[in-house]
C-alpha cells in the first residue's frame, strides 16, 4: 500500500461547481499535511497547509480527519483557472506525496 | 517568500554521461531536498541534502548514482551519474524553514532527457 493515496481522476466539472478531493495516508505519526497545485510543466506550488482539524482560504477548504487518516480539499465555485493537478502531501519526518488528482474545469 | 533557482532548466544528455544540477536559494534555509518526477507521475523523494555531512538517501536511491553536495545553507547540487534513458525525468529541489515552519517550497525543476 502506498503511504499517501489519491484518486487520480480526472475530475471534469463545469465552472461554478463544487468539487472535493480525498487523500488517505498510512503513517499515523504524520503531523503536517499539505495540498499543492501543479500546473502542466511547472513546479508544485503550495496551496494550503493543514496542521490541526482544517484550514480555509477563500474558496478552498482543507479538512483533516486523524481518526480515519484522510485529508480532503474542497473547492467551491470552481474557476477555469483551477484546472491543474492537486497533490496531497503527508509529513512525518519527510514529505511524501500522493500521485495527484487531475482537475479540469470546463466552461 | 524566497527565490529558488535551478540550473540548468533543461538538458539533453547522452547515455553514460553525468549531469550536475544546481539549486540556489536567496535566503538561508534549514532543510533542502531533491525530488524526481517521472513523466505522468508524482514526486518521489531522492534524498535530504544535509549541510556539512552526507545526504540521507531514500530507499532505491544511492550515493554513487546521485551524489549530493550541500556546502552551505543556500546551495545544493545533485549529480545524476552514468545516465541511462530511465533517468529521463524532472528533478526538483525543495527547501524548508523559510518561514520558521515546515512548509516546503519547490524550485522550477530541471527537465532531463537522456538519449
pLDDT digits (tens, 9 = 90+) for B9-28: 999 999 999 999 999 999 99
pLDDT at position B110:
98
List the grid coordinates of B47.
534524498
Q: Give, as one character, the DSSP assignment of residue A70.
A: E
Q: What are the chain B neighbours of A99 within 8 Å (beta carbons)?
A: 41-42
Higher pLDDT, A2 or A13: A13
Whether the per-residue pLDDT at B99 is higher than 80: the answer is no
pLDDT at position B107:
97
pLDDT at position B1:
67
| Beta pairing, strands A95-97 & A84-91 | antiparallel
Neighbours of B30 (CB within 10 A): 12
Burial zone of A62 (CB within 10 Å; 0-12 exposed, 13-18 middle, 19+ buried): buried
Mean pLDDT of all residues belonging to chain B? 94
Residue of A44, A86, A90 to mutate, testing the B interface (most B Cβ within 10 Å of its Cβ): A44
Q: What are the chain A neighbours of B105 within 8 Å (beta carbons)?
A: 46
Distance in Å from the first CA to the final CA of chain B: 37
Give yes or no for a contact between A101 and A21, defined as CB atoms under 8 angstroms apart.
yes
Give mean pLDDT, residues A69-77: 96
The least confident of A90-94, B15-19, B53-57, B63-67 is: A90-94
Q: Which residues of chain A approach chain B closer than 8 Å at the C-beta?
A: 32, 34, 42-46, 49, 87, 89, 91, 94-100
Mean pLDDT of all residues belonging to chain A? 94
- Say if the Cβ atoms of B104 and A46 lie within 8 Å: yes
Residue B98 — pLDDT band, cuts 50, 70, 90? confident
Helix (H) or strand (E) holding A64: strand A60-65
DSSP-based three-state secondary structure for B109: coil
pLDDT at position A54:
87
Residue A17 — pLDDT band, cuts 50, 70, 90? very high
Distances from the Cα of B44 to the Cα of A30, A53, A107, angstroms:
17, 27, 34
Estimate to the nearest angstrom the gap between the alpha carbon of B1 and the chain centroid.
20
Amino acid at each position: 500500500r502506498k503511504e499517501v493515496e489519491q484518486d487520480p481522476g480526472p475530475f471534469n466539472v463545469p465552472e461554478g461547481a463544487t468539487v472535493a478531493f480525498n487523500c488517505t495516508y498510512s503513517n499515523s505519526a504524520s503531523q503536517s499535511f499539505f495540498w499543492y497545485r501543479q500546473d502542466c510543466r511547472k513546479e508544485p506550488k503550495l496551496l494550503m497547509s493543514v496542521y490541526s482539524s482544517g484550514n480555509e482560504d477563500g474558496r478552498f477548504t482543507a479538512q483533516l480527519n486523524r481518526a480515519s487518516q484522510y485529508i480532503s480539499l474542497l473547492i467551491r465555485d470552481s474557476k477555469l483557472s483551477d484546472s491543474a493537478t492537486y497533490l496531497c502531501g503527508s509529513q512525518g519526518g519527510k514529505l511524501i506525496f500522493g500521485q495527484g488528482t487531475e482537475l479540469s474545469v470546463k466552461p | 517568500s524566497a527565490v529558488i533557482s535551478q540550473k540548468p532548466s533543461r538538458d539533453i544528455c547522452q547515455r553514460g554521461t553525468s549531469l550536475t544540477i544546481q539549486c540556489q536559494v536567496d535566503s538561508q534555509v534549514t532543510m533542502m531536498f531533491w525530488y524526481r518526477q517521472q513523466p505522468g507521475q508524482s514526486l518521489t523523494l531522492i534524498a535530504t541534502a544535509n549541510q556539512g555531512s552526507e545526504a540521507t538517501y531514500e530507499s532505491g536511491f544511492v550515493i554513487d548514482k546521485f551524489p549530493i553536495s550541500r556546502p552551505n545553507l543556500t546551495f545544493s547540487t545533485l549529480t545524476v551519474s552514468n545516465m541511462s534513458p530511465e533517468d529521463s525525468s524532472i528533478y526538483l529541489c525543495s527547501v524548508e524553514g523559510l518561514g520558521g515552519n515546515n512548509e516546503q517550497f519547490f524550485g522550477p525543476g530541471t527537465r532531463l532527457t537522456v538519449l
